[in-house]
Structure 1
Amino acid sequence: MPNITNREAAEALIRQQIIDSIVQDAPKSSIVMQLGRRLPNMTSNQTRMRVLDTLPTAYWVDGDTGFKQTSMQAWDNVYINAGELAVIVPIPEAVVADADTDLIGEITPRINESIGKRFDAAILFGENRPAAWQNDIITVARQAGNNVADTAEKDLYDKIMSEGGLLNKVEEDGYAVNGAIAALGMRAKLRGLRTNDGLPIFKSDMQGTTPYALDGAPMYFPENGSFDKTIAQMIVGDFRQLVWAIRQDITVKILDQGVIQDPVTKAIQYNLAQQDMIAIRVVFRAGWALPNPATRLNEDRTGCAFAYLEPATPVTTQTVTITVKDGSNESAKAVKGASVDVNGSILKTNDSGVAVFNLRKGDYPIKIKKAGHKTINDIVMVAEADVSKTIVLSEA
């Protein structure tokens, strides 16, 4: 057999080259991956995490012969589900033959950039997020009351730095802000803020070695197109609470047979064999979670480690009212203090057994828990109108 470098051998080399680049460089293209806490690679499609759900409580003993009271500690399951990102890059073979540059080297960074954009946009804003993923950062922060309106009553500095501002919202829930993300246009607004002496409050050197900072927390302005300024102007938070992991089976394949169809119209766009083309197909799988464990400053897990500044015109949401009752008849009493978990957004029911969420269009799994009762799993579907749903608990 002649000693030649055939297509099969070259493909193996190219495939490994791209895989190595994705594993090493995709996180550099994603602000969320850079700021969040990376966990070991997932070994299956789903990884379970145990997080604190109930904290023990100590009690004073009444006198020398007083009784010591009991307390409990409980855990809840949080799941990281792998979502799949895929891209196919078709290339005419003539272009490969005539190119005077390393095409693979030119294409791979763009693939990484696209992965970073999609990953960030799904986690921050819920854009095209996989159905198995929990609510995005904006949705979770909104339910926790950690959204700051862009009103004329306060200037930008107060909206960020003062009591009731972005940083304070996160701190009130027991977290310290260690990072901020904003659209590039926010830089101009920050540069306009001055002290009484006319000195700039926020500044950065031209080389970027001294970045913008909010109370010491570094600030980032994504250039991968992931930040949606129609949903938020700025997001701040404790990014150590955000965890993510890569599923191990990253695959790359060089195709030279088959057709590529438009996913909507199903029309054939390219016939690789007939048109003398190859295509690089990359499949990347990763997942994330915001576990939100119980802490002494967030015992009921209704807080959030993130807050955001709304745009001048806030995003339209629908009011979703969940009412929890004990029993199935009309006179059933309301259940106060039940935990209502809408896909990672947690609220406790009030005296009337009601928890109110503000959600965008979509289907949301819900879980209702109350000590002494059976846990109920259900789903709420949100379209273009407000939604009301009653959940009936039964004793355990």
Structure 2
Amino acid sequence: MANYNDIIGRPDVADALIPDGVATEIIKEAPKNSAILTNAKRSRLSTKKTKQPVLSTLPEAYWVDGDTGMKQTSKAVWKNLNIVAEELAVIVPIPDALADDAGINLWEEVKPLIAEAIAYKIDAAAIFGVDKPDSWPAAIVPAATKAGNTLAQGTNDDLGADVAAIAGKVSAQGYPVNGFLSAPGLNWELIGLRDEQGRPIYSPNMAVGQPSALYGFPLNEVETGGWDPDKAKIVALDWSKQVVGIRQDITYDIFREGVITDDAGKVIINLMQQDMKALRVVMRVGWTTATPTTRISKGKGYPAGVITPPAEPTTTS
């Protein structure tokens, strides 16, 4: 249901942000970045819709029969991959009196939280298809599942062996795996795993904000809230085939005059009349997965694979 009448009012901040002579530092988590925006190949879009050439047919070579044999011809074919930038936006109104009385700068506190909300939307849409724009292709997990690139956790001796198996399956299609995605907390599950020679397969990174390594490749835990643990445990993928198109970076504009209406045209908020300001945040972004033909896949593979949660054990009465 569309929503047009949310504002930050005094009941939302209460005494925590309008203190009587107490510290103005807020206890909070640092905003989380989008795993898709951070790792995918970036392209700057000059228009809403951009065409990216992708190889669809590979040229062939032929042996020549004898000294005077006839040489055959071949060709390469490219098809267009469309990247469509869609708009993410929100308006946050705050009464002037509340902003003046608060012990902190509400506008500066709200900005990173909105950026995190945008990151959540992008991750959830691109990885699982949640609230995905119609112009975007099938999300990574559904597309990998359709391509048959799935493996249930517990198929092999341990999770490390499952990861190696699904990464090998994707790589065997001509898309070398160079990164992993997972839910937060997977690193603790992996710390004790070893390969056949007893060497750790997982290397936690002690540097803040840097991904750890699984089989030598970055493991990014999706911390935006966009991960669905019921659909995937780990995603192994070729990041070079994930493309993000930026038409407009996040912009922040504060308005002192204007009205906010609902979808029926009814005025809900009048900024000037009600002594309010509104922060409008907008980003225009597109995403797609490139699936160029390789000598191995012949156009039938997909550059990602999914380890699904273990199947529920069957019980008999």
Q: TM class by shorter-chain length? A: 0.7 to 0.9
Structure 2 partner of 1:248:
248
CA separation in 2, counterparts of 1:153 and 1:249?
43
8 Å CA contact 1:178–1:238 kept in 2: the answer is: yes
CA separation in 2, counterparts of 1:127 and 1:192?
33
Structure 1 partner of 2:58:
55
Residues 267/150 of structure 1: CA separation in 2 closer, same or farther (3 Å cut) = farther
User: Which residue among 76, 93, 96 is the counterpart of 2:96?
Assistant: 93
CA separation in 2, counterparts of 1:196 and 1:244?
38
Count of matched residue pairs: 281
Can you list the C-alpha shifts for 1:229-274, whole angstroms capped at 9, x where unaligned?
A: 122111111112212121138654433431353x7x9987645445
User: In the alignment, residue 157 of structure 1 is paired with which amino acid?
Assistant: G
User: In the alignment, residue 50 of structure 2 is paired with which amino acid?
Assistant: T
Structure 2 partner of 1:29:
33
CA separation in 2, counterparts of 1:81 and 1:222?
24
| SS across alignment from 2:248 | coil
User: In the alignment, residue 47 of structure 2 is paired with which amino acid?
Assistant: S
CA separation in 1, counterparts of 2:125 and 2:311?
21
Residues 92/290 of structure 1: CA separation in 2 closer, same or farther (3 Å cut) = same
Structure 1 partner of 2:259:
258
CA separation in 2, counterparts of 1:197 and 1:178?
22
Structure 2 partner of 1:39:
43
Residues 250/113 of structure 1: CA separation in 2 closer, same or farther (3 Å cut) = closer
CA separation in 2, counterparts of 1:131 and 1:212?
34
8 Å CA contact 1:28–1:34 kept in 2: the answer is: no
CA separation in 2, counterparts of 1:75 and 1:197?
44
What are the equivalent positions in structure 2 for 1:229-248 lying under 5 Å apart? 229-248=229-248
Point out the more displaced range, 84-93 or 251-260. 251-260
TM-score by length of 2: 0.78
Can you list the C-alpha shifts for 1:289-312, whole angstroms capped at 9, x where unaligned?
A: 2222222223x3221221111123
Structure 2 partner of 1:71:
74
Q: Report the Cα offset of residue 58 of structure 1.
A: 0.7
CA separation in 1, counterparts of 2:195 and 2:173?
29
Residues 119/249 of structure 1: CA separation in 2 closer, same or farther (3 Å cut) = closer
CA separation in 1, counterparts of 2:56 and 2:195?
44
Residues 267/214 of structure 1: CA separation in 2 closer, same or farther (3 Å cut) = farther
Can you list the C-alpha shifts for 1:309-367, whole angstroms capped at 9, x where unaligned?
A: 112359xxxxxxxxxxxxxxxxxxxxxxxxxxxxxxxxxxxxxxxxxxxxxxxxxxxxx
Query: In percent, how many aligned pairs have the same letter?
Result: 40
User: Which residue among 127, 150, 158 is the counterpart of 2:153?
Assistant: 150
Structure 1 partner of 2:310:
312
Q: Report the Cα offset of residue 143 of structure 1.
A: 2.6
CA separation in 1, counterparts of 2:209 and 2:290?
33
Q: Which runs of no fewer than 5 residues in structure 2 stay unpaired?
A: 1-30, 313-317
CA separation in 2, counterparts of 1:151 and 1:179?
21
Q: Which runs of no fewer than 5 residues in structure 1 stay unpaired?
A: 1-26, 315-396
Can you list the C-alpha shifts for 1:191-211, whole angstroms capped at 9, x where unaligned?
A: 343568988653525555875
CA separation in 2, counterparts of 1:193 and 1:127?
32
Q: Report the Cα offset of residue 52 of structure 1.
A: 1.0
Q: Report the Cα offset of residue 128 of structure 1.
A: 0.7
CA separation in 2, counterparts of 1:217 and 1:153?
21
Structure 1 partner of 2:175:
175
TM-score by length of 1: 0.64
CA separation in 1, counterparts of 2:60 and 2:198?
51
CA separation in 1, counterparts of 2:218 and 2:98?
43
CA separation in 2, counterparts of 1:141 and 1:180?
14
What are the equivalent positions in structure 2 for 1:204-243 lying under 5 Å apart? 204=204, 208=208, 211-243=211-243
8 Å CA contact 1:55–1:294 kept in 2: the answer is: yes
| SS across alignment from 2:131 | coil
CA separation in 2, counterparts of 1:35 and 1:294?
22
User: In the alignment, residue 292 of structure 1 is paired with which amino acid?
Assistant: T
CA separation in 1, counterparts of 2:214 and 2:110?
36
CA separation in 2, counterparts of 1:71 and 1:199?
48
Residues 211/132 of structure 1: CA separation in 2 closer, same or farther (3 Å cut) = closer
Structure 1 partner of 2:17:
none
8 Å CA contact 2:32–2:224 kept in 1: the answer is: no
